[in-house]
Amino acid sequence: MIRILRYGEVENKDIFSRAVPTVNVAAVVAEIIATVRKNGDRALLDYTEKFDKAALKSLAVTPEEMEAAVASVEPRFLDVLKRAAANIRRFHEKQVRQSFVVNGENGVVMGQKIVPVDRAGLYVPGGTAAYPSTVLMDAIPAKLAGVGEVVMVTPPGKDGTVNPAILAAAQVAGIDRIFKVGGAQAIAALAYGTETIPKVDKIVGPGNAFVAEAKKQVFGEVSIDMIAGPSEILIVSDGLSNPRHLAADLLSQAEHDKLASAVLVTDSMELAQAVQAELERQIPLLERAEIARASIDANGKIIVADDLGTVVEIANEIAPEHLELCVEDPFAYLGSIRHAGSIFMGRNCPEALGDYMAGPNHTLPTGGTAKFSSPLSVDDFMKKTQFTYFTKDALADLADDVAYFARCEGLTAHAKSALIRTEEGGK
């Protein structure tokens, strides 16, 4: 049963604690990465047979496999994918930045070029659930950024095929190439390249502990989006929300993973108790009841505070991945929310809407990292390059100051470089 905690009557560590994976996979992942770097495709095929029980002859998804997969999914599913993609594209189009130029005095020209990465790699999990929504969320911003090539890796089933829903989403999103490989070995292949899989500049997408550790270990060789942890939802609610709705929203994240975190923060003890009871009614009805039960019992909590102002401060301290504002006037509180991956406003905006159809990205910072990081966006696939042009007269105006500054740092060659062009006879 979910715990009810009254803020101020229990220790803060009970209020702000979160689930932490205890398994240490660093050494195993390091060995996998080293093996892939050494043996390339052979290592990928061996690991796929070992971990996924799939004996593959080749890694690439063929055009024929794509065609068959798309033909096998329900027409309504394809239609929903396309509608979701349109909403995601409409939202992310607003994120596309433009280069700029600043013209200064004496002919000085400065500016910033916005340039996409050449190649991006998307990791799409397999395992207990397939996530075609993640394909759309990760690929569409990359395409809008203008990335030259977008490749996807995803683990195959035992029969050597990729889930048709994943491939259908890849076609809708416009992914260029797809490879049947998962786990840490897939991340290693994207980071360093093999005979078949090209080296990429950026790796994005969620995964299990092995995938997260692999992304951590290859960071620096390539860029990554974030180290994703267990899924989280925090609901801020006054006493007027429907307990059935709140319980359902909490369970929408609890069903992801036994380490997932579902938290309600409210100013109403009556609501807290009603949601607690409603969770007990709804959990046995879920297909993933065992996972949801483990998550709710171990990591779920309902926190009761004296007023909504305190409720919001608790939410900011937790900095959740998903935050629902289930209050009468959510826009009145929006400005007070400083730390959250994505905010869902009002009583008719469940987090599940954002997972699939609304448009904003669902690849979000977890584990409190919303205090300093952001959702996946077009910016993740862009890089910025500065440029500066000075005329001789403009340089002369600043050369003495540049040289003085340089000498203050003990860098006399810097000083000479600034002055040599302005000295008598300098060219």
For 416, residues 6+ apart whose C-beta sits below 8 A from its C-beta are 403
Q: Is-catalytic flag, 362?
A: no
The Cα 351–Cα 253 span in angstroms is: 9
The catalytically annotated residue of 322, 324, 351, 362 is 322
Q: Is-catalytic flag, 322?
A: yes
Report which of 385, 304, 259, 258 is spatially closest to residue 3, judged by C-alpha positions: 304
Q: What residue spans of 283-421 are helical by DSSP H?
A: 289-299, 308-318, 330-334, 351-356, 392-408, 412-419
Would residue 127 be called left, alpha or beta, if left means φ above 0 and alpha means ψ between -120 and 50 degrees?
A: left
Report which of 56, 375, 59 is spatially closest to residue 190, judged by C-alpha positions: 59
For 287, residues 6+ apart whose C-beta sits below 8 A from its C-beta are none
Classify strands 100-103 and 109-116 as parallel, antiparallel or unpaired: antiparallel
DSSP secondary structure letter of residue 357: T
Location of structure tokens 């008719």: 348
Q: How many CB atoms lie within 10 A of CB 28?
A: 15
Q: Is residue 315 within 8 Å of 340, Cβ to Cβ? A: yes
The catalytically annotated residue of 213, 255, 321, 351 is 321
Residue 336: strand, helix, or coil: coil
For 395, residues 6+ apart whose C-beta sits below 8 A from its C-beta are 418, 421, 422
- Which sequence positions are flagged as catalytic? 321-322
